[in-house]
Amino acid sequence: MAQYDPYAPQADIVHSAHRLIREHGPDAVMVAELRAERQLGQGDMDGYRTWKRIELVVDGLAGLIDSNSAPAH
């Protein structure tokens, strides 16, 4: 089982979120959520917390990307 650090620096979480977005595009939030749930199912609370942090950042970045790409009225 991989070791996760629930106290990882925010910069590491943001880096992971960017990588997930590059790799999975619009599905990145769902991928992060599934990975968090998998860790929870394995009883790995540190992994769960880490992936939930990544999920929150991915979701926030996706919102910024969507609002920046929306056509101006």
69 phi and psi angles, rounded to 5 deg: -95, -5
Q: How many domains does the chain have?
A: 1
The segments of the chain whose pLDDT lies below 50 read 1, 70-73
Measuring CA to CA, how many Å separate 2 from each of 50, 66, 69?
12, 32, 36
The one-letter amino acid at 7:
Y
**Does some domain include residue 14?**
yes
| pLDDT tens-digit map of 24-44 | 999 999 999 999 999 999 999
| Mean of the per-residue pLDDT values of the chain | 86
Which of 24, 51, 27 has the alpha carbon at shortest distance from 40? 51
Range(s) of the domain holding residue 32: 10-66
Q: What percent of the chain has pLDDT over 90?
A: 68
A 10 A CB-CB count for 68 gives 7
**Does some domain include residue 18?**
yes
